[in-house]
């Protein structure tokens, strides 16, 4: 049995080399990577407890489908970052800001819900819905963690068990999933139109590139970077943005202008990744096309075993079972009676959880599509993302 496994692994490695050579890549392949840790940067799409530690726990029914209760995630269960950890054989990574009971020996998560690449001036989360922990702040947290973890670890005892040793930082996988909130902040906070948001994208991309370079300077070598989702298919944007007209809705039901802006961001991000590869010679950088997978899921939701992708599972009111005033887990007054806004009967068939985020089932669908490298550049599996 073991011989067959080795032969299969060898065959897949050779096949990968041939595919990459055909695609114009020269890849030095050493087989599957042994990532000891994940360090993640991002927003609510990968937040495992950062915002909850700052502003209070993501309330029930969040977490109900897997964790049997709130677990810091704005979802009924696991996120894509959780499935990445499972695939790599790494425990779920704790939020850096959540100090209670956390073990950082296998990495840390600096993502917080509402985070943006660019700092949002003169705002706080409770006033605006956007996190003050922008990407530069997440980097500062990582920088401090990188230095101080080694100082504290030398004290021995429990600290050697819950903090990574110095070698982990150069061998870890660095994951990024951020940018979606920069676009929405342009619309909701600043009142910009589509062209004004597009005009700001080069600045967003430039700041993103700087952070990746900074992480590289601290020893990071292996990067797994998600592009941004089709924002024009997100329920809260379709419901709340008044500048969307009926003529701008595509055949799937998404806003074409919003998606065009998201694709413009992704084109800039892809170009930035290409530039980073040229300047960071020891880095292995994988660009993952999340946009295409999510749009395909929404476009063919019935064939993929899902129900209406715009209708929220945990919500109440409005044309999409979504009302910004009746959020998931909170109380709403219905026919003069106060009721709890709970989840739908079958979250496993829902795409949209609360108007903003995907369900665990939808996250699993996306992960299953990207894990083998089918939507990656270069097209290599997650477990081979350390290969240059």
Q: Is 354 a catalytic residue?
A: yes
User: Within 10 Å of residue 340's Cβ, how many Cβ atoms?
Assistant: 12
Query: Distance (Å, rounded) from C-alpha 351 to C-alpha 379?
Result: 26
Query: Distance (Å, rounded) from C-alpha 76 to C-alpha 197?
Result: 31
- In angstroms, what CA-CA distances link 104 with 21, 57, 81, 111? 38, 20, 15, 14
- In angstroms, what CA-CA distances link 216 with 85, 104, 386? 21, 20, 14
Tokens representing 153 are: 């670890």
Q: Is 44 a catalytic residue?
A: yes
* CA dihedral for 355, 358, 360, 365, sign (positive or negative): positive
* CA dihedral for 259, 361, 226, 61, sign (positive or negative): positive
Length of the chain: 388
The end-to-end CA distance of the chain, in Å, is: 30
Query: Distance (Å, rounded) from C-alpha 147 to C-alpha 139?
Result: 12
Q: Is 195 a catalytic residue?
A: no
Q: Which of 47, 354, 376, 377 is catalytic?
A: 354
Alpha helices (H) along the chain: 2-22, 50-55, 80-88, 125-128, 135-153, 158-162, 166-171, 180-188, 194-217, 235-240, 256-279, 290-299, 360-370
Q: Which of 44, 46, 52, 149 is catalytic?
A: 44
Q: Which of 146, 226, 316, 357 is catalytic?
A: 357
What residues are labeled active site? 44, 354, 357
């Amino acid at each position: 049995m073991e011989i067959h496994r080795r032969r299969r692994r060898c065959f897949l490695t050779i096949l990968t080399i041939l595919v990459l050579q055909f695609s114009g890549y020269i890849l030095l392949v050493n087989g599957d990577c042994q990532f000891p840790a994940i360090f993640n940067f991002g927003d609510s799409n990968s937040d495992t407890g950062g915002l909850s530690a700052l502003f209070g726990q993501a309330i029930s029914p969040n977490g109900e489908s897997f964790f049997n209760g709130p677990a810091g995630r704005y979802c009924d269960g696991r996120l894509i970052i959780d499935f990445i950890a499972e695939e790599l054989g790494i425990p779920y990574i704790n939020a850096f800001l959540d100090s209670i009971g956390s073990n950082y020996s296998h990495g840390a998560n600096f993502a917080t819900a509402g985070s943006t690449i660019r700092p949002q001036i003169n705002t706080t989360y409770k006033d605006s819905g956007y996190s003050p922990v922008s990407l530069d702040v997440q980097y500062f947290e990582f920088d401090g963690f990188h230095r101080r973890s080694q100082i504290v670890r030398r004290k021995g005892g429990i600290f050697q068990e819950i903090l990574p040793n110095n070698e982990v930082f150069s061998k870890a996988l660095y994951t990024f999933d951020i940018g979606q909130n920069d676009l929405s902040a342009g619309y909701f906070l600043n009142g910009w139109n589509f062209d004004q948001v597009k005009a700001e994208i080069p600045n967003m991309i430039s700041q993103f590139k700087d952070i990746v370079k900074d992480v590289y300077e601290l020893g990071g070598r292996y990067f797994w970077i998600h592009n941004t989702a089709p924002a024009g298919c997100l329920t809260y944007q379709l419901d709340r943005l008044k500048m969307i007209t009926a003529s701008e809705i595509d055949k799937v039901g998404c806003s074409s202008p919003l998606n065009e802006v998201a694709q413009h961001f992704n084109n800039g991000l892809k170009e930035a990744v290409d530039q980073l590869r040229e300047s960071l010679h020891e880095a292995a950088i994988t660009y993952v096309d999340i946009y295409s997978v999510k749009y395909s899921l929404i476009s063919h939701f019935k064939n993929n075993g899902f129900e209406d992708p715009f209708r929220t599972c945990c919500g109440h009111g409005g044309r999409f079972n979504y009302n910004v005033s009746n959020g998931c887990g909170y109380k709403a007054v219905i026919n003069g009676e106060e009721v709890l806004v709970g989840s739908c009967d079958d979250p496993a068939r829902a795409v949209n959880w609360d108007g903003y985020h995907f369900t665990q089932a939808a996250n699993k669908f996306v992960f299953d599509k990207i894990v083998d490298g089918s939507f990656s550049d270069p097209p290599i599996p997650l477990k081979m993302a350390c290969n240059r």
